[in-house]
Amino acid sequence: MKRLLALALLTFPVSAAAEQVAKVGVDWVGNDIVVEAIRDPKVGGVTCHLSYFSRSMLDRLSQGNWFEDPSNSAIECAQTGPIALDQIKRGASGEDVFSQSRSLVFKSLRVKRIYDEENRVLIYLAHANELSEGSAKMSISTVPLFDATSGGTGQQ
């Protein structure tokens, strides 16, 4: 039983924990924009701020769509300390950093890290992931990596 549980845990991607930084009301029915801080679990020294729309119960009742939030999101990432890249997955497909459900079953908001090795840039892509239909709603942020000899603070 312990082996089965360990195997199940290994098949799920590591996901960073999000810490709510702000919640801004946008209308009289209680809809909000939520801002969360997400620290990359494999790249120390990078923090992303992800914002998204959170629908109120009143809005859910009036719209008739009970179990789903919009896919819209925005992301901005910055270097907040020394950066080490020795634990990241390299390659064009990148690696999931964060995932949060946006509907009862079929939709999630994800943040993926992609390393552009040639240009020495970490790319963070926030996008909706849906089972049946993809979404064109996305947001992107980059964190440049500087050599210590060029006056930057990033490391490799």
Residue 132 DSSP one-character state: S
Query: How many independent structural domains does the chain possess?
Result: 1
Domain assignment present for residue 3? The answer is no
Domain assignment present for residue 5? The answer is no
What pLDDT, in 10s, does the model give residues 14-33?
467 889 999 999 888 888 89
Domain assignment present for residue 62? The answer is yes
Domain assignment present for residue 9? The answer is no
Domain assignment present for residue 155? The answer is no
CA atoms of 74 and 106, how far apart (whole Å): 21
What pLDDT, in 10s, does the model give residues 53-73?
887 777 777 777 666 666 678
DSSP-based three-state secondary structure for 8: helix
Domain residue limits at 97: 18-150
Domain assignment present for residue 2? The answer is no
Q: How far is CA 76 from CA 31, 86, 140, in A?
A: 22, 23, 7
Q: pTM of the prediction?
A: 0.74
Domain assignment present for residue 44? The answer is yes
